[in-house]
Every structure is written in structure tokens, then in C-alpha cells.
Amino acid sequence: MNDPARQPVVRIEKLTRSFEQGGVTIEVLRGVDLVIRPGEIVGLLGPSGSGKSTMLQALGLLEGGFGGRIEIAGIDASRLGKNERAAVRRDHIGFVYQFHHLLPDFSAIENVVLPQLITGKPRAECEERAKELLSALGLAQRLEHRPSKLSGGEQQRVAVARALANRPRLVLADEPTGNLDEATADKVFAQFLQLVRGEGSAALVATHNERLATAMDRVVRLHDGVLA
């Protein structure tokens, strides 16, 4: 079975990460193993400070300093240089953070178009895709709004559309609704899951919300630097 579509989207082996602070070394990740299959939505739970964000950062290939092995879509990322890592990120990974990180001077639709333009796709196609995603999230009437003219829930939904714009095989979400009130969080989270499922992307979603965790395919828990 060498079909790339059936290969794990994520394979982490013995992932370690420690931080030096004031002469003290804190071992945050002490040998994390995890496999995520295509289309699988996995909740990442663990108390505050257990290393959830650290783990997502490692998977996002944003910085070095990690030990062990990370494979994304069958590519051994541990061996790649900075530019190659950026290419894997662009082609295979979408991010949603707790705070939307949208570009304030661009409209909702432009925020979803921009990451697509980087791939070299014609603008008309990028706009079509952006409209499709924003409409699916109930934002068809908000395309030209700047982030500051959107509610918190709407901003997060634009961030979800942006993350999915390039059809990533893997979505990494760090408390994607952690900044919203409970009712809005539930609604946005349900839309997020529905869209990710519809797109067939896999996802790793960090949250300390046990209620949201029940909606995912599977939950893993970070404790003492390893996954239980």
C-alpha cells in the first residue's frame, strides 16, 4: 500500500522539546509518538502548560530545536532546510489560532485569497474558492468586511476559511474557539468540524474543553511530556 493518499498525514516518533530558562532546563515534550490518518480529526487535550502549543508548533515546522522525527504527508520534515519546510507548510498544512491573526488592512475575502495566490493559482480561481469557503461558513454577506468590522465569531470563521483555502491535508488548530463565549464557540466549532470533514482534511485540535473534545474522532492527552 504505497498509495500516498492512504499514508498517514502525520507520523511523529519520539518527539522531544526542552526550553532553557535562567539556567533551568524544562523538558516539555519527552518522547511523543502519534499517527494521524487521512481525514482523521484528533483532539489534543492536556492541562495548561502541558505542551499542546509547543507540539503544534513543532508539527507546523515553524522552528527547529526539536528532537525526534516528524513526517508530514510521508515527507520526513526533520531533514529539511528552512525553505523546504516552508514549502511543506504551504502545500500541506493550514493553521487556526486562538486569535484570528487576520491581516487588518484586507477584507475577509482578500484574507482568504492571499495564501492561495502564493501557490501561483490564478486570482479568479482563488476568489472562487474563497467565496465557496466563506459562504459555507455563513459569511456570504461579509466578503468585503475588514476584520475590525466583524464579530469575534465571524473573525474566527474567516480564519478557518483561510486555513482551508489551499486544501491542506492537515489542519492544526490551537484553541480555535478559546477566545469566544460558550454559545458562539460551540457554533463556530461545529462549523469548523463540518467543513474540515467535508474537505477530507485531517486535523489536530488543541483544546482544554472536554465538551468540544467529544465531537472529535479521537482524543489524545498530553501528560508529563508524553501522550497517554
Position 7 contacts Mg ion (CB under 5 A)? no
Position 49 contacts ligand ATP (CB under 6 A)? yes
Of residues 190 through 219, those in contact with ligand ATP by CB under 6 A are 208
- Burial of residue 115, with CB atoms counted within 10 A of its CB: 0-12 exposed, 13-18 middle, 19 or more buried: middle
Q: Which of 10, 28, 112, 203 binds ligand ATP (CB under 6 A)?
A: 28
Q: How far is the CB of 50 from Mg ion (least distance, A)?
A: 9
Position 179 contacts Mg ion (CB under 5 A)? no
Q: Which of 51, 60, 153, 168 binds ligand ATP (CB under 6 A)?
A: 51
DSSP-derived secondary structure letter, 203: E
28 binds, among Mg ion, ligand ATP, none (CB under 5 to 8 A by kind): ligand ATP
Position 50 contacts ligand ATP (CB under 6 A)? yes
Phi and psi at residue 138, to the nearest 5°: 80, 20
Q: How far is the CB of 5 from ligand ATP (least distance, A)?
A: 31
User: Among residues 26 and 140, whose Cβ is nearest to ligand ATP?
Assistant: 26
Q: How far is the CB of 70 from Mg ion (least distance, A)?
A: 18
Please, where are the H alpha helices in the chain? 52-59, 82-92, 108-117, 123-136, 152-164, 182-199, 210-213
* Binding range to ligand ATP, per CB under 6 A, among 21-29, 62-70, 83-91, 211-219: 21-29
Q: How far apart are CA 122 and CA 105, in angstroms?
A: 22
Q: How far is the CB of 21 from ligand ATP (least distance, A)?
A: 5
Strand order in the sheet with 202-206: 93-96, 170-174, 202-206, 41-45, 218-223, 226-227
**Residue 14 Cα to chain centre, angstroms:** 21
60: closest CA among 27, 99, 35, 94?
94
Assigned C-alpha cell, 163: 486555513
Q: How many residues bind ligand ATP (CB under 6 A)?
A: 13
Q: Which of 34, 36, 45, 52 binds ligand ATP (CB under 6 A)?
A: 52
46 binds, among ligand ATP, Mg ion, none (CB under 5 to 8 A by kind): ligand ATP
194: closest CA among 178, 225, 171, 211?
171
Residue written as grid cell 502549543? 53
Interface residue list for ligand ATP (CB under 6 A): 19, 21, 26, 28, 46, 48-54, 208
Interface residue list for Mg ion (CB under 5 A): 52-53
